[in-house]
Chains A and B, each alone.
Chain A
């Protein structure tokens, strides 16, 4: 990313709390902080990968970006407008530029509507002057771009495989020419070889349409593949944010290090030899986040200060990578990638 890169999405101090259960009087009894004071930016044309384990808040953050959920506090500024304070009608107008692709293509498509009707729906909503014939023409133009024949417009989701459905979901998201795509676990439900095809498709379309995208996934190898920058989340916070190459080659936060070392490298020789960091215990209960660093209870490097003081996310080594660790340092990894050259 060059220095003049234009910021498309600016997330400032966003917090989101969910009520886990209520008292008999209906007052919140226990609340879960799913997203805790997150700030980050997405530049025009880049792909930001968000990784984290279950409960890290990555999906909630994705939903906040397109305002499927309202934040408790903070701003989500998309091309100059704070989405959180926009009126309903203004939000609707902005939202056509923000589209989301979900994990489960079986749940995100209406089984009673033909593929063509599903893809045309956003077109009709945002451009009421479009004739039915024009809608149909656009749909049939779009299908080949996602690798499906135009005739697919007349089929129903029930007749299609998971990979084909996800292609339809992508076509629908692209129908109204969005500027920002949020893909939440978009390939996680797919089989291995289908996964590669859909990733290639997304990467190709992002490039061809000049899209900006936020790619959320628990699959670190795939995120690495298509992201320019990576945000690593733990217990509702971003703990590391930097260029994909740097983060994967030499993470600065101990959680990122543990996460990367936990992914088995698909080469038995390398995998046997490499050092692995095994984390004790579980992620703390998000209803009661610890006072200091959220990761301290499981961190092999934790000191007293980590229990007392929550470290801020900032550039600690002066290399452009932000990390939230009192003891941030470059921790070189056995690279997940390209270790297999020898084996081949």
Chain B
């Protein structure tokens, strides 16, 4: 794989998408200093499209998605660089009252824990009607009617009656449906879904994803799905952005990401899926841990855990996100230079299988722990 035209992704940053995040830096204040937890994050979402933001804990995927609606705690966090263009405006330049119109209006959001996101002392119908009245000039009665209508739309049986119930009498799957109903009640152009099915059982997850797909078709709504579950990504999304240690490392259409990953980290995630190892054999694992934001290695952030890292190259220069000939974006220097192919990434034995050679792992784990602190 070679690069014909080394386009840096940020230059590609355009306003053709519904949502376009460009070169976003987010910093958090901790122990007396500002630490960058997201750096140069860029992503584009087409109207009606679905994009997955994938990564392990600490990759910055949730922080990135929360920053879109400016939901990060103001006193300890700041966006120090970049733009979040949504439907022709940079959301970062809007006032708090303008943002309130965007939240729940043009952009809906659902979270992992449906119970903590619903207010236990108001009925489900009241909470949805309140959202509707916040964004539309309608009477209480009309807002209530809309609440019942969206509850029906998300498949709550006897919606008119259930709208009068309190959240505690809903099951986990029903609560997440109610959250989705609230999020879509004002026909948003974009739905942010942060681990929407992680707390749910698999059979419930399947029906919630089916519902989201159906709503996306009917309402023409775009979905940004934040998840760590590659199965959900394969099931639901058109495009994928893989994040590692606060920055995107690969951007690709879903079939290409799974078929020919172009970053050793993406390939490592795929290979560590239990489904990719025959039963009874040792699972592959990526050795080591995600580095802390204030302990980032020089050069490529994945290099210390990468089987393909080249001393003098990968540990020196911090790589840019580069567009490959096939359209995929990667932050791997060796892939970009054509020294490594996707085929090699998926074929080579990955990492040191844990418990195989315990002394090696012991050193790995211990060293990692040492560098954490």
Contacts and interface: CB of A to CB of B under 8 A. Distances in A.
Report the interface size class on chain B: 35 or more
Interface stretch (A62-70, A98-106, A156-164): A156-164
Given A54-B172, A196-B354, A221-B274, A268 B254 contact: yes
B355 A201 contact: yes
A78 interface: no
A148 B355 contact: no
Given A266-B270, A267-B234, A340-B275, A204 B203 contact: no
Contacts of A266: 230-231, 233-234, 258, 270, 273, 275-276
B258 A53 contact: no
A125 interface: no
A167 B258 CA distance: 31
Contacts of B56: 191-193
A151 B56 CA distance: 28
A282 B171 contact: yes
Contacts of A302: none
A224 B279 contact: yes
Contacts of B295: none
B282 interface: yes
A266 B234 CA distance: 5
Q: Is the interface of B mostly helix, strand, loop or mixed?
A: helix
B10 interface: no
B363 A149 contact: yes
Given A53-B203, A145-B358, A196-B285, A339 B272 contact: no
B258 A267 contact: yes
Given A147-B362, A191-B56, A268-B234, A278 B355 contact: no
A275 B136 CA distance: 41
Interface stretch (A87-95, A126-134, A256-264, A318-326): A256-264
B17 interface: no
A8 interface: no
A193 B272 contact: yes
A218 interface: yes
B361 interface: yes
A163 B269 CA distance: 17
A212 B172 CA distance: 34
Contact of A259 (B174, B202, B232): B202
Interface stretch (B125-133, B138-146, B365-373): B365-373
Contacts of A340: 275-276
A221 B275 contact: yes
Given A205-B355, A268-B254, A276-B206, A344 B346 contact: yes
Contact of A191 (B57, B270, B277): B57
B284 interface: yes
Contact of B269 (A192, A283, A344): A192
Residue of B229, B230, B283, B356 with highest tally of chain A CB at under 10 A: B283
B235 A264 contact: yes
A265 B347 contact: no
Nearest to B283: A196
A336 interface: yes
Contacts of B284: 196
A225 interface: yes
B201 A54 contact: yes
A198 B355 CA distance: 8
B372 to A, nearest CB: 8
A7 interface: no
A220 interface: yes
Contacts of B231: 263-266, 271
Contacts of A276: 206, 210
Report the interface size class on chain A: 35 or more
Given A145-B358, A262-B203, A344-B346, A278 B210 contact: yes
Nearest to A340: B276
Contact of B289 (A161, A196, A205, A245): A161
Interface string A51-86: 001100000000000000000000000000000000
Given A144-B362, A161-B289, A201-B354, A279 B203 contact: yes
Contacts of B234: 264-268, 271
A205 B373 CA distance: 30
A240 B363 CA distance: 43
B291 interface: no
B258 A159 contact: no
A200 B354 contact: yes
A244 interface: yes
B176 to A, nearest CB: 12
A179 to B, nearest CB: 20
A203 interface: yes
B207 interface: yes
A30 interface: no
A268 B258 contact: yes
A164 B255 contact: no
A276 B254 CA distance: 20
Residue of A53, A193, A205 with highest tally of chain B CB at under 10 A: A193
Given A262-B203, A271-B235, A203 B275 contact: no
A114 B276 CA distance: 38
11 contacts: A147-B361, A149-B362, A149-B363, A161-B372, A167-B365, A192-B272, A193-B56, A204-B355, A221-B275, A244-B279, A264-B235
Interface of A: 53-54, 143-149, 151-152, 159-161, 163-164, 167, 191-194, 196-201, 203-205, 218, 220-222, 224-226, 244-245, 258-259, 261-269, 271, 276, 278-279, 281-283, 336-340, 343-344
Q: List the 10 shortest-distance A-B pairs measured between CB atoms, nearest first.
A: A264-B231, A197-B354, A204-B355, A264-B235, A53-B201, A196-B285, A262-B206, A196-B283, A147-B361, A149-B366
Given A266-B230, A268-B234, 13 more contacts: A54-B172, A147-B358, A194-B285, A197-B361, A203-B355, A218-B202, A224-B274, A224-B279, A262-B203, A264-B206, A264-B234, A264-B235, A266-B258
